[in-house]
Amino acid sequence: MIDTLQWQLPLWSCVAIIIWLSFDKQSLSHLLATPIRQVGVLTCALVLAVLWRIKAGILPGLELHILGVTAVTLILGWRLAIFASTLASLLLVLVAQLPISLLPVHLLFTAFIPITLSYLCFVICYTYLPRHFFIYIFLCAFLTAAVIACIKILTSGVLYYLLGDYSFIEISENYLILCAIIWFPEAMLNGMAITLLITYRPYWVKTFYDKDYLDS
């Protein structure tokens, strides 16, 4: 089980390493000096907490819910997205919606890994593809969110299989198959959120550069 010391130590170690890598004095100083940025981070944290609270599932520990991390990553950038997702997870712990024993698993597989992959997809698109408005929306937001949702389900399924909590048949028939259900709503929610923001409040989205995407 995940609450055993054998699994808790490596999971918490991975969480600590990612948080340490995301820490940057310059970013922190800028955040503390910019009230509107603080509001943005707290708002994203609250939105993530609400999205993660609304979940459904057949097997304990293998729940289905909207992630929302792709949009948050594009809005805040990698470092602040890690920070906001950590705040959201701690809030769920405080309101007794997330057991402390599952916190490292939740942080890694619901937040940190999807956030890192979302940012990596953005960097790849920004570096190697034409910097076009529609590429940003459909690849960086819509398509990336769909893929990330499926990756989250696959990685969580693999973890619980390795833990021995469920057999491969149980995981594949009751959890992995949900990829076919969740990819479209995840893509739509993230895609629509980013589309609305870059249309009406582009300066709120840290990774959207007017000179690159609107002048192309």
**What's the pLDDT tens digit per position in 74-91?**
999 999 999 999 999 999
In the structure, what pLDDT confidence band is assigned to residue 178 with cuts at 50, 70 and 90?
A: confident
Average pLDDT for 103-116: 95
Domain ranges of the chain: 5-213
Q: What is the pTM of this model?
A: 0.93
Residue 62 has pLDDT above 90, yes or no: no
What is the SS3 assignment for 58?
strand
Please say whether the beta carbons of 205 and 71 come within 8 A. Answer: no
* Amino acid at site 134: F
Nearest residue to 147 (alpha-carbon basis) of 44, 85, 70, 52 = 70
Q: Using alpha carbons only, what angle is made at residue 215 by residues 209 and 216, rounded to the nearest 5 degrees?
A: 100
CATH number of 5-213: 1.10.1760.20
Per-residue pLDDT band for 189 (boundaries 50, 70, 90) equals very high
Helices vs. strands in the chain: H and E counts, helices first: 12, 2
Q: Which residues pair with 56 in a beta bridge?
A: 64
For residue 173, the model assigns a pLDDT of: 86
Q: Distances from the Cα of 113 to the Cαs of 69, 85, 187, 197, in angstroms?
A: 10, 11, 17, 24
Ramachandran area for residue 99 (φ above 0: left; ψ -120 to 50: alpha; else beta): beta
